[in-house]
Structure 1
Amino acid sequence: MGRTVYSPEYCLQYLEQYASKEIFVIGLILGQTTSARENVIHLARTPDEKSSESASETSYPLDKPESKTLDSVSEAWVADHAKHVTRMLPGGLFVQGIFITSDEDIFEDPNCFSKVKSIINNVYKAMSANQYMYGNCPYTNERLILHMSNSTKVLTCKSIEVGSGTKNTVIKPVEWKFLPKAQQWQRLDCYYEFDDVYPVVVKKSGISVKQQFQQILESAHKTIETSIMFIDGELKDNAEVLEQLFKKKKSKTSSKTSQQELPKSMNVSLFVPFENALPEAVEYLECDGSIHFSGVVSSSVFMFPKATVSETIASVKQDIIRSLASRFTMHCDALIDDNLLPEEKVCFNEPPRRVLVPVGSLYLCDYLFPGEAPAEALLSVRELLDLQITEADVVCDVETPADTSEFDALDRDASSEELLATPQEASQFMYITGICFAMFVLIVSIIIHYYDSIVEILSKILAKS
């Protein structure tokens, strides 16, 4: 049985929009692969690459695409676009391939197809560089290539395997079906709280913020992977289907809602098993400081209703780790000084917070730094997803800005320490005070012991005078 992909009808209109202008366009295919079905949610045009003189590597122009060909496309530029877009995808959604509108027949022309394979493999390698971004779909190594001819408007989709290392690439036909109605998605919301303290050990080579964040990410990944997920407060069988869970719940409550209607959202809770056994060997380190990592990650995952519980669990866990990895990368890229131990005794770092942006019938995400307005998200959506939305469409209340009151208190305490004596000064102060007190006791004791003699001597002195 051949591979079948389903997508909303507006994706066809999107392709025809560019093909009708008879211009070359390349972009990314975004979607979700489950055991039940493969769904495409959006097609995002890759922006034109600016020259190094006018823009940095990661700046995306907003101008209309200029006339170009497949040979002029930079593989690294498309891969960079894929990395930025992956940060905006909730868990369970991936870059599934690329689409092209052109005059050339990319499947018949050997040079064109060789270029397409190079682009696909470069995207795969770029996504593999950071395992915590979950850039590559774990369920399949095949990537989609969708082509629309500018002249005939004929649509062709095929798939090739990536990462195999074989020279002979197997090309498989793919049937692409457009859905006239909007696809239903099951939303799952989770709020995962972090409140951990990590030691900072500075070696000869030093340590940077990026290195320490990587250690935090590794620890968080291990913790979340071992956690147990509850859906609506209940532990579910991994083989069960999301849609079936709602039908069971509905039959118990005798709801009057339609059988086809899905709940707006399901609540997810992650519980970390308690490890009651101590390790055989405990390593003691002399720390130079500590990092208090605290906050709540908001996770909103959208799954195909016929997806299994095990696929849903994996998507929720992917979303939390991908979100952390995205924030840490963006935060480190924005730092002027990567030194972990600044001159100040207390340093406060606030990575960007998550906001939701609508794409069709579901939501993707973006990240805003402290002080940034929702309008900043509009720019990212337009540049990276080729979408036009309004500021009112951005959902900004899924995560609140960080509370800095505790940090302010710590900062005040740190500054007041300068007015206090150091431990060595304090011990010297106590030592000197002890000697003075002992001398005072000795003098009083002598006076009491020789009191009568002293009184007699004073009386004789006064009598003579």
Structure 2
Amino acid sequence: MVQGGVMGRVVVADDALQDRLTAQAKAGTFQIGLIIGQNTREKDIIVHLAPTPVPDEGDLSSEDEEVMPSSREELSKNKYPDSLPKVVEGTVSQHARQVVRMLPGGLDIIGVYVVTPQADFTSSSSQSKLRLILGATHKTTSRILLETAESKTEKVILHVCTQSFKIVCKTLDLSPTETSTQENGDLKFQRGGSKWQQLSYAYNINLNFWLPKDKPSQSLYKTILTLIKPWAKSVTQSLILINSENPEDEDLLDSSVEEKPTKKKGGNRGLMELVPPKAYKVEILDPCTTLVSSSGLNDMAGSIRLSGTLAGLAFLHNKATVGEARAAVLLDLVRSVVSRWEMHCDSLVEEPPSHLIGPIIHEPPRRVFLEGGGLPVSLCDYLFPGDSCGDACQSAKELLSLKIRKEHVDDSQETLADASEVMCSADISVDGPEELESQGISREGPCSSTQLLLILAVAAVGVGVSFVSLQGSQGLT
């Protein structure tokens, strides 16, 4: 049962989600989770509900602990809360941090849902906690964009009462200029959900970064993010071709979009048929601007090169404009690069410092795409060397509560690279760092491999890669 009120912003979802929420309410157990969907100008579209799992002691990154130092102690209890005030906001924000990596362009975490009694949801302590949870989640998911796009501050809240089984939709604007009052949302369930359009692309990346000596206290994670930001801002100025054409931003992506849903015979409701998304090929032609400072080698402690070809996807609603499509593609690209760097730094925390001198190749995770699970869109995951498609299925189960079969994991878009081939093409040597410096940041021509590679190199004689590894072992601080 959906409870109405004064009509507010329209929120649409598939009927299957209504059945799932009602079943959870009838079970009578508390649950909180993330709402995955898409914000449009006219409405918000809910695609999936991902319940926040029971946290493990090691779930929080060092970055989150810096903001919430008491969270690890609370997480160590390893118990699922039974009411809203007992939820640790760091648990939900860390879940959001992992889930947002699995989303293609166009999709985001647009809110949270709570299954709990009415009295628990409406208490003042619960409402304060809910705002803290939404604020922490918004901050976490916005950070990965590197200030290249604005994350919408108006969030969706779904409350499912375990006593009346009613589903209430609210919206809350987290902007500091807005009041903290929740507004009624106009929740509509429809069979078959929404129709989607798919955009796919491949992007050749070849970035060289010099590591400065003057920031010894800053972690490798933050140092590289600082260096990636100029590239991220530059790539947002790219020319985006769609099916080899350059339409105006105001044009509809699909000019033949139908206004009315397709109806099946014998049905008494409008049924949106589950048809495959209309597919588009995208080319990203970014400006070849040199973003690296030409300061001397004496100011540098090491260098890092990111090289390879990235595969990406974005999904848009059926009435999306070309401008929305371009923004979704660029968001996916930036989010993909930052996600891999975050995961790479997480993996370095457990590795001992290296004492080798000379270039070292690290392979950050490659992207795979997940289909099925009853969703109309594809999701993604990242696999390190040695990981299998089964690991991606396990991640989908744990983080999204989705059952994905191994044969529905597409791991062919990005493949493992040949390390010796990349070393030859990298053109990095201890004796010739000046050549690297003169290259700046280059994106000319396709890469010989289809896997993003991170090359940790020597910047000057006597300064080894051990410095870089040692910095990385400090974690995301």
Q: Aligned ranges for residues 136-175 of structure 1 at < 5 Å? A: 138=150, 140-164=152-176, 168-175=179-186
Deviations 1:134-162 (A, max 9, x none): 8xx83632111101111211110111111
Larger radius of gyration: 1
Is the aligned partner of 1:78 residue 2:65? no
Q: Shift of residue 56 of structure 1? A: 4.8
Q: Deviation at 1:35?
A: 2.0
Name which of 17, 21, 26 aligns with 2:27: 21
Quick check: 1:332–1:338 contact (8 Å CA) kept in 2? no
1:236 correspondence with 2:251:
no
Alignment partner, residue 18 of structure 2:
12
Q: CA deviation at 1:65?
A: 8.8
Residue 132 of structure 1, CA deviation: 2.7
Match of 1:382 in 2: 397
**Distance (Å, rounded) in 1 between the aligned partners of 2:401 and 2:281:** 31
Q: CA RMSD in A?
A: 3.5
Q: For residue 305 of structure 1, what is the aligned residue in structure 2?
A: 318
User: Could you say what secondary structure the match of 2:203 adopts?
Assistant: strand
- Which position in structure 2 is the counterpart of 1:333? 346
1:370 aligned onto 2:385:
yes
Q: What displacement does 1:49 show?
A: 3.2
Task: Report the counterpart of residue 217 of structure 1 in structure 2.
Answer: 228
Distance in 2 (alpha carbons) for counterparts of 1:213 and 1:415:
21
Shift of residue 382, structure 1, vs aligned partner:
1.0
RCO comparison, higher one (Cα < 8 Å, 6+): 2
Q: Superposed, which structure 2 residues align to 1:111-190 within 5 Å?
A: 111-132=125-146, 138=150, 140-164=152-176, 168-190=179-201
Map of 1:395-406 to 2, 5 A cutoff?
A: 395-406=410-421
1:336-347 equivalences under 5 Å are 336=349, 342-347=355-360
Rate the CA distance shift 1:208–1:148 in 2: closer, same or farther, 3 A: closer
SS in 1 for 2:118: coil
Secondary structure at 2:38 match in 1: strand
Q: Which runs of 5+ in 2 are unaligned?
A: 1-6, 62-71, 259-273, 433-460, 462-477
Letter in 2 for 1:31: G
Residue 108 of structure 1 and its aligned partner are, at CA, apart by 3.6
Structure 1 residues 416 and 109, CA, compared in 2 at 3 Å: closer, same or farther?
closer
Offset, 1:324: 0.6
Contact map agreement 1:28 1:95 (CA 8 A) in 2: yes
Match of 1:2 in 2: 8
- Which residue of 43, 46, 50 corresponds with 1:40? 46
Cα distance change of structure 1 residues 307 and 410 upon mapping to structure 2, 3 Å threshold: closer
Give distance in 2, aligned partners of 1:302 and 1:290: 36
Q: String of CA shifts for 1:297-342, please: whole Å, max 9, x gaps.
A: 1111011121111111111001000001100000001014789985
The answer for the alignment partner of 2:116 in structure 1 is: 102
CA distance in 2, matches of 1:413, 1:221: 24
Flag the 1:411–1:396 CA change in 2: closer, same or farther, 3 A: closer
Summarize the Cα distance change of 1:410–1:131 in structure 2 as closer, same or farther, 3 Å threshold: closer
Deviation at 1:45, TM superposition (A): 0.4
Query: Which residue in the other structure is 2:408 paired with?
Result: 393
- Count how many residue pairs are aligned between Structure 1 and Structure 2: 394
| 1:191 pairs with one of 181, 192, 202 | 202
8 Å contact 1:23–1:67 — kept in the other structure?
A: no
Q: Which amino acid aligns with 2:366?
A: R
Alignment partner of 2:146: what SS?
Answer: helix
| Secondary structure of 2:184 counterpart | strand
Which residue type is aligned with residue 172 of structure 2? I
One-letter code aligned to 1:103 = P
SS of 2:362 mapped into structure 1: coil
How does the TM-score come out when normalised to structure 2? 0.74
TM-score using structure 1 length:
0.75
Equivalent position SS for 1:244: coil
1:307-456 map, 5 Å: 307-336=320-349, 342-358=355-371, 359=373, 360-407=375-422
> Would the alpha carbon gap of residues 203 and 16 (structure 1) be closer, same or farther in structure 2, given more than 3 Å must change?
same
Name the SS of the counterpart of 2:95 in structure 1. helix
Deviation of 1:415 (Å): 11
Q: CA deviation at 1:129?
A: 4.1
Asked if 2 retains the 8 angstrom alpha-carbon contact of 1:97 and 1:120, the reply is yes
| Gaps in structure 1 of 5+ consecutive residues | 248-259, 418-422, 424-465
How far is the alpha carbon of 1:210 from its aligned partner? 2.4
Greater shift in the superposed pair: 336-345 or 408-417? 408-417
